[in-house]
Chain A
Amino acid sequence: MSSAAPRLGVLASRVRFEEKSILAALERRGAACLQIDPRALSVRAGSPWAGPRTVLNREVGHYRALYAASALESTGTKVLNTTAATAVCGDKWQTSTALVARGLPTPETTLALTPEAALEALEQLGYPAVIKPLVGSWGRLVTRVTDPAMAAAVLEHLAALPSPQSHIVYVQREVAKADRDIRVLVVGGRAVGATYRRSDQWRTNVARGAVSERCPLDPDLTALAVAAADTVGAHIAGVDLLQDPDGRLTVLEVNDRVEFRGLQQSHGTDIDAADAIAALLIKEAQA
């Protein structure tokens, strides 16, 4: 083992399949890497940081990931994904506006600044529709509403939540789809692989029990996923898409600290998602 300080770091407070696989891939490539727990991290403004010069951000908490990236970038550290990409990906409204500005297909979305305004926005969007928290993952608190009475009840609960952010309401027209969505892993501008995520529930998050099946990467899917990742500035991205019954693809969201266990398992040894990320990290450290 080299006595020199590692040039690479992996920032993670929770080591899941993905972080463990990436750390192992870096070791297989002979890259000296420091595992950094952000719970023990503090950065003084304007001061140098003695840690690695290139850091992969795998922190599970959005806000801790966002501010860790910002703090490390302030010291001149290169962070993948960047603070800017994490900010856009972590906020569904910012993601939607970025996708729309780029002209990429994405479900019709409205931001209502109060729960009361959301009820009117839903009338204009039409039912069924989906109410989503601005920040959150794994399908948590994503609610499908089918009529005004149901929407009013959900919005009343939102209004009662203490966080001011909960009163900013993101509403989206529901996209007719099969019982599955599509996840494409994009690393360094290249689509590494894709999976269908199938569920008998309407939410098709793997975290909610959806099953991953290999999805062929055709040119349209590849181009749209790569464009979506580029739009939000993500070097590493899990792009979630829906395909309507007519075959049209639409981008739902882009995940900046992507989980890929289901994707990896559905591909066996045909792809190595962790190694693709490790290779990009090493390349970026050398750039």
Chain B
Amino acid sequence: MSQTLTITECLECDAAVPWENDARVGEILECPECRTELEVESVEPPRLILAPEVEEDWGE
């Protein structure tokens, strides 16, 4: 069962962004305040970057 492990600040609005303890590098988190998409760049130490914009050829 995942539990909140840590909290990082949103790079856009500084709001608190909670992380689950099973987060993985490359996972996308959404800021609960401004809805900005943030990418997990590093789990240890915890570090977020702005997620890339969706590109035209993205999909499945």
Known contacts being A14-B26, A16-B28, is A258 close to B60, with CB within 8 Å? yes
Interface membership of A203, Cβ < 8 A:
no
Interface membership of A61, Cβ < 8 A:
yes
Interface membership of A63, Cβ < 8 A:
yes
- Name B26's contact: one of A19, A63, A90 (CB within 8 Å): A19
Q: How far is A181 from B28 in the complex, measured between Cα atoms in Å?
A: 28
CB distance from B17 to the nearest CB of A (A): 16
Which of A136-144, A172-180, A187-195, A273-281 is found at the contact surface with chain B? A136-144
- Name B25's contact: one of A35, A61, A238 (CB within 8 Å): A35
Contact B55–A259 (Cβ < 8 Å): no
| Interface residue SS majority, chain A | loop
Interface membership of A62, Cβ < 8 A:
yes
CB distance from B36 to the nearest CB of A (A): 15
Contact B24–A259 (Cβ < 8 Å): no
Q: Which residues of A contact B28 (CB under 8 A)?
A: 14-16
| Interface residue SS majority, chain B | loop
Q: Which residues of A contact B24 (CB under 8 A)?
A: 15, 19-20, 23, 35
Known contacts being A37-B25, A37-B26, is A257 close to B60, with CB within 8 Å? yes
Interface membership of B44, Cβ < 8 A:
no
CB distance from B24 to the nearest CB of A (A): 5
CB distance from B45 to the nearest CB of A (A): 18
Give residues of chain A (119-141) contacting chain B, Cβ–Cβ below 8 Å: 135-138, 140
Contact B27–A15 (Cβ < 8 Å): yes
Q: Specify which of B26, B39, B56 lies most central, judged by the most chain A CB atoms within 10 Å of its CB.
A: B26
Q: How far is A136 from B59 in the complex, measured between Cα atoms in Å?
A: 7
- Name A12's contact: one of B26, B40, B52 (CB within 8 Å): B26
Interface membership of A255, Cβ < 8 A:
yes
Give chain B's interface residues, CB within 8 Å of chain A. 22, 24-28, 39-40, 51-52, 55-60
> Can you list 9 pairs linking A and B with CB atoms under 8 Å apart?
A13-B26, A15-B24, A19-B24, A20-B22, A20-B27, A37-B25, A63-B57, A137-B60, A255-B59
